[in-house]
Amino acid sequence: MQGFNGFPDGQLKTIALPALFFSELLPIIDDLAELRVTLYAFWALHKKEGAIRYLGRRDFTADDLLMESLGQPRRTAEAVLSTMPWNMLSPAGRCFTSRWRARLAQKISIS
Instruction: List pLDDT tens digits, range 4-61.
Output: 899 899 999 999 888 888 988 888 888 888 888 889 988 988 888 887 777 777 888 8
Q: Read off the pTM.
A: 0.69
Q: Is the pLDDT of residue 87 over 50?
A: no
User: pLDDT tens across 88-104, in order?
Assistant: 444 444 444 455 455 54
- CA-only gyration radius of the chain, Å: 16
Cα–Cα distance between 58 and 105 in angstroms, integer? 18
Higher pLDDT, 111 or 40: 40
pLDDT greater than 50 at residue 109 = no
| Cβ-proximal residues to 31 (8 Å cutoff; 6+ apart), any chain | none
Q: What is the pLDDT of residue 14?
A: 92
Mean pLDDT, to the nearest integer, of 72-92? Answer: 63
Can you give the residue ranges of every domain in the chain? 30-107
**For the chain, the helix, strand and coil percentages under 3-state DSSP, each to the nearest 5:** 50, 0, 45
